[in-house]
């Protein structure tokens, strides 16, 4: 790919290793895990043994200390083959809060098992009445001596029934001066009394990824399980999303790449009216547009990741732009790819049909496309700090 010319030799090796692993191992699990909606524990263990899990966790906490771009190159290759199985990379989802805001004791206790593939994490933010509106959460965490008592329900939680740790956003101030204030983040261990997780089934896509409703009923956690500062939960969560939107952009690029490759090879081999499908001008135009959009999307995703690695923190506007654009491109490319396949692509066991279903989530989780556009707009107007706000005045104005 054109963007790969920007990578170092080490990054190219990471990308190739991830591609070889996905192409070799994923076909053994794809159909079964999609059909039965089950998490591929065996595949996850194999990936952990090869160092693909917890890559960005620092070495002192059991990880490899790699940059976000290095990690996302693996995400891209995994999603190129199968998005649902590619979600094994999200087994550490939520640990970013510990890494960015946790104290040393929390990092030493909880990060190594995640980095070594011995534990799974879940981030609990979304609620039945608070999805994109994080400030609307109702889950409470009331202080009682040296403990916090958590009550509330979280919805659509990735890894919900298989997690060992839950990262939970809750209200510690029931009457804050502003609705986004008075929130805090806590770590809750799986076996804590009062934690109940119910698996959600019949998802449209990424069916190998575990999704659940998680209920907290009078769950007591020690004050030591507070991550960061009390009352700063909203700001911590916004920073968390700024980071995690970058891997989603690479999920989109990977899926779009896989769909394009399937469509291109199908068109080269499929005959129609005694001609190869790829010889028709309409097919060539489709493929030309798909490849152009794909390369533009990949470069934007790389830019967002490169910025975080260089500066040490993500740019909100740039990450929102990358996620919005790559997700949109993935929708378009997989749509045209299935169109090239025609009736064969409509059949359920085809990889392209699974990609078609998987693609839809990319414009929903980690911020809907509407939320991403709002962040981009606020970045342009200076309401959100971003390089996008550096718009020069035109000389004719």
Instruction: Tell me the whole-structure pTM to 2 decimals.
Output: 0.95
What's the average model confidence in pLDDT over 201-223? 98
Q: What is the pLDDT of residue 2?
A: 65
Task: State phi, psi for 388 to the nearest 5 degrees.
Answer: -70, -20
CA–centroid distance for 265 within its chain: 28
With cut-offs at 50, 70 and 90, classify the pLDDT of residue 141: very high
Cα–Cα distance for residue pair 221/225, rounded to 1 Å: 6
What's the average model confidence in pLDDT over 205-222? 98
The residues, any chain, with a CB within 8 Å of residue 155's CB and separated by 6 or more, are: 126, 127, 128, 131, 213
With cut-offs at 50, 70 and 90, classify the pLDDT of residue 1: low
What's the average model confidence in pLDDT over 58-78? 97
Model confidence over 94-123: pLDDT tens digits?
Answer: 999 999 999 999 999 999 999 999 999 999
* Span of 102-106, 209-213, 278-282, 300-304 with lowest mean pLDDT: 278-282
C-alpha distances (whole Å) from 90 to each of 133, 149, 180, 307, 382 are 23, 28, 27, 22, 32
Domain boundary assignment for the chain: 2-115, 121-231, 235-389
Q: What is the pLDDT of residue 394?
A: 66
Percent of the chain past pLDDT 90, that is, above it, reads 90
Active site members: 366
pLDDT higher than threshold 90 for residue 305: yes
Cα–Cα distance for residue pair 4/15, rounded to 1 Å: 9
pLDDT higher than threshold 70 for residue 397: no
Question: In sequence order, which ranges of the chain are alpha helices (DSSP H)?
Answer: 9-25, 30-36, 41-49, 68-81, 83-86, 95-101, 104-115, 233-269, 281-311, 316-341, 343-346, 351-359, 369-380
Task: Report the sign of the C-alpha dihedral through residues 384, 378, 232, 156, in that order.
Answer: negative
Q: How many CA atoms lie within 13 A of 217 on its CB side?
A: 7
CATH of 235-389, one of 1.20.140.10, 2.60.40.420, 3.30.70.100, 3.40.140.10: 1.20.140.10
End-to-end Cα spacing for the chain: 40
Q: What is the pLDDT of residue 36?
A: 97
What's the average model confidence in pLDDT over 178-206? 97
Q: What is the pLDDT of residue 237?
A: 96
Model confidence over 331-381: pLDDT tens digits?
Answer: 999 999 999 999 888 886 689 999 999 999 999 999 999 999 999 999 999
Q: Who has greater pLDDT, 273 or 110?
A: 110
Q: Which residues is 142 bridged to in the sheet?
A: 149
pLDDT higher than threshold 90 for residue 3: no
Average pLDDT score, the chain: 95
Q: Who has greater pLDDT, 267 or 393?
A: 267
May I ask the CATH class of domain 2-115? mainly alpha
What's the average model confidence in pLDDT over 313-330? 97
Q: How many CA atoms lie within 13 A of 259 on its CB side?
A: 34
What's the average model confidence in pLDDT over 144-168? 98
Helix (H) and strand (E) counts for the chain? 13, 10
CATH topology identical between 121-231 and 235-389: no
* Span of 7-16, 163-172, 241-250, 271-280 with lowest mean pLDDT: 271-280
CATH number for region 121-231: 2.40.110.10
CA–centroid distance for 226 within its chain: 24
């Amino acid at each position: 790919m054109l963007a790969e010319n920007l990578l170092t030799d080490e990054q190219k090796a990471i990308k190739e290793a991830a591609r070889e692993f996905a192409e070799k191992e994923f076909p053994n699990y794809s159909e079964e895990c999609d059909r039965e909606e089950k998490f591929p524990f065996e595949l996850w263990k194999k990936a952990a043994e090869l160092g693909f899990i917890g890559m960005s966790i620092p070495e002192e906490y059991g990880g490899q200390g790699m940059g976000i771009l290095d990690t996302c190159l693996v995400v891209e290759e995994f999603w190129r083959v199968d998005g649902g199985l590619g979600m094994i990379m999200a087994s550490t989802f939520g640990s970013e809060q510990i890494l960015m805001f946790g104290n040393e004791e929390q990092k030493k206790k909880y990060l190594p098992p995640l980095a070594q593939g011995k534990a799974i994490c879940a981030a609990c933010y979304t609620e039945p009445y608070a999805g994109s509106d994080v400030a609307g959460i109702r889950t409470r965490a009331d202080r009682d001596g040296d403990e916090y008592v958590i009550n509330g329900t979280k919805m659509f939680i990735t890894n919900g029934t298989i997690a060992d740790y839950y990262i939970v956003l809750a209200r510690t101030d029931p009457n804050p001066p502003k609705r986004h204030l008075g929130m805090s983040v806590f770590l809750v261990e799986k076996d804590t009394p009062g934690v109940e997780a119910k698996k959600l089934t019949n998802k449209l896509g990424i069916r190998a990824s575990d999704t659940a409703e998680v209920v907290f009923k009078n769950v007591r956690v020690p004050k030591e399980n507070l991550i960061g500062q009390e009352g700063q939960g909203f700001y911590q969560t916004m920073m968390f999303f700024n980071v995690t939107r970058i891997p989603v952009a690479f999920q989109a690029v990977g899926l779009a790449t896989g769909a394009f490759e399937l469509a291109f090879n199908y068109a080269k081999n499929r005959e129609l009216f005694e001609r190869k499908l790829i010889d028709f001008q309409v097919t060539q135009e489709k493929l030309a547009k798909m490849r152009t959009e794909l390369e533009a999307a990949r470069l934007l995703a790389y830019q967002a990741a490169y910025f975080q690695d260089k500066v040490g923190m993500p740019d909100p506007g740039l990450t929102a732009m990358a996620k919005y654009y790559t997700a949109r491109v993935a929708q378009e490319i997989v749509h045209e790819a299935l169109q090239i396949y025609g009736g064969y692509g409509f059949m359920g066991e085809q990889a392209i049909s699974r990609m078609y279903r998987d693609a839809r989530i990319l414009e929903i989780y980690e911020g809907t496309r509407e939320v991403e556009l709002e962040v981009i707009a606020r970045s342009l107007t200076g309401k959100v700090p971003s390089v996008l706000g550096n718009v020069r005045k035109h000389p004719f104005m």
